[in-house]
């Protein structure tokens, strides 16, 4: 289905929990975080009802996120249920990778096609500093396991000034020998992320160009994602740039977001949307749910306003919204 600006909306990102086994510095506070109660979160059955209605409106791609989605105990069963819904062509996962190695075989059997792994450092000490609780070797082992199973791997990397910004070329070099895509994502000024200064993708690209000769330019990913790509000469993987701050790509946005408490968001930046959980628990029929989602999609905002003051700016942390 198209929104009122003519964009085809065929991608639903679902946060299945706000809980996480890490405390990344630009996502959550180290202590004192509050989490939704279990009864406030969508059940597996409620999520499947929303996906079913969304599929009838043309949604083809589902991404499960969090928090950390792998801390949810029924994730395999949930993925199996989504995979059985007519019209869904691909199920993907965004994860920090800590629990991935032990669960990835079951997830593949359930329908998993690809993973985005959030990884901001290749150095153990810095990784622990950024995540506060992470063990780097678990993530690296999970990456190798996914490649062994033929699951597409993309690394989502956020560069923070005076933290990990000296590792840019280390990440670039990963794409020489491994069939993975490294995607530099500009730091979003959301929640605690607004306390830090990110590195613009323009500066990252300039650094890469000054250190490497032949670069193949690839405009956009074939799956319609927001990243533009380059490739090193003879590189096995690609280097991507998701530049929401320095180069707004909202004209091509094809997604909506569902939080773990059942709030359907039209845009990451804004706080408005619709409480689908309330509608579901008030006994709405599938047709009523479908019409609510249809209206929400149609009225999706034209673009974000991250660099401007806005009364409707989202104030929740990223783990509450869904990464």
Biggest CA–CA distance in the chain, Å, is: 61
State how far the Cα of 232 lies from the Cα of 239, in Å rounded to an integer. Answer: 8
The domain spans of the chain are: 11-321
pLDDT for residue 263: 92
State how far the Cα of 300 lies from the Cα of 89, in Å rounded to an integer. Answer: 23
pLDDT for residue 311: 52
Token pair, residue 274, equals: 């619709």
pLDDT for residue 305: 47
Q: In CATH terms, is domain 11-321 a member of 3.40.50.720?
A: no
Find how far residue 320's CA is from the centre of its chain: 13
pLDDT for residue 107: 98
| Pairing mode, strands 228-232 and 239-242 | antiparallel
Q: Name residues of the chain where pLDDT drops below 70.
A: 219-225, 245-249, 268-271, 303-323
pLDDT for residue 230: 95
Question: Which residue is it, tokens 């396991």?
Answer: 145
For 64-111, the pLDDT digits (tens) are 999 999 999 999 999 999 999 999 999 999 999 999 999 999 999 999
pLDDT for residue 96: 97
């Amino acid at each position: 289905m198209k929104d009122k600006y003519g964009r085809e909306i065929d991608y639903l990102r679902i946060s299945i929990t706000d809980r996480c086994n890490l405390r990344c510095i630009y996502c959550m506070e180290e202590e004192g975080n509050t989490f939704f109660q279990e009864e406030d979160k969508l059940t597996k059955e409620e999520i499947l009802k929303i996906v079913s209605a969304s599929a009838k409106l043309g949604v083809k791609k589902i991404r499960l996120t969090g928090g950390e989605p792998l801390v949810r105990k029924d994730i395999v069963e949930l993925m199996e249920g989504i995979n059985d819904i007519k019209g869904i062509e691909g199920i993907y996962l965004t994860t920090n990778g800590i629990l991935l190695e032990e669960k990835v075989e079951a997830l593949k059997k359930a329908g998993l096609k690809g993973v985005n792994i959030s990884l901001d450092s290749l150095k153990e000490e810095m990784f622990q500093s950024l995540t506060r609780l992470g063990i780097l070797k678990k993530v690296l082992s999970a990456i190798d396991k996914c490649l062994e199973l033929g699951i597409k791997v993309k690394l989502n990397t956020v560069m923070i000034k005076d933290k990990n910004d000296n590792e840019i070329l280390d990440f670039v070099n990963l794409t020489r020998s491994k069939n993975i895509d490294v995607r530099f994502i500009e730091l979003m000024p959301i929640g605690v992320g607004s306390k830090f200064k990110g590195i613009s993708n323009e500066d990252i690209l300039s650094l890469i160009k000054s250190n490497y000769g032949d670069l193949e330019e690839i405009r956009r990913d074939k799956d319609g994602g927001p990243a533009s790509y380059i490739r090193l000469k003879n590189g096995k993987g690609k280097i991507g740039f998701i530049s929401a701050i320095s180069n707004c790509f909202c004209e091509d946005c094809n997604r909506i977001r569902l939080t773990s408490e059942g709030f359907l968001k039209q845009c990451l930046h804004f706080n408005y949307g619709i409480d689908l959980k309330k509608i579901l628990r008030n006994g709405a029929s599938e047709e009523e749910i479908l019409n609510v989602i249809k209206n929400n999609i149609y009225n999706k905002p034209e673009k974000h306003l991250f660099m401007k003051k806005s009364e409707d700016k989202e104030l929740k942390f990223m783990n509450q919204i869904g990464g």
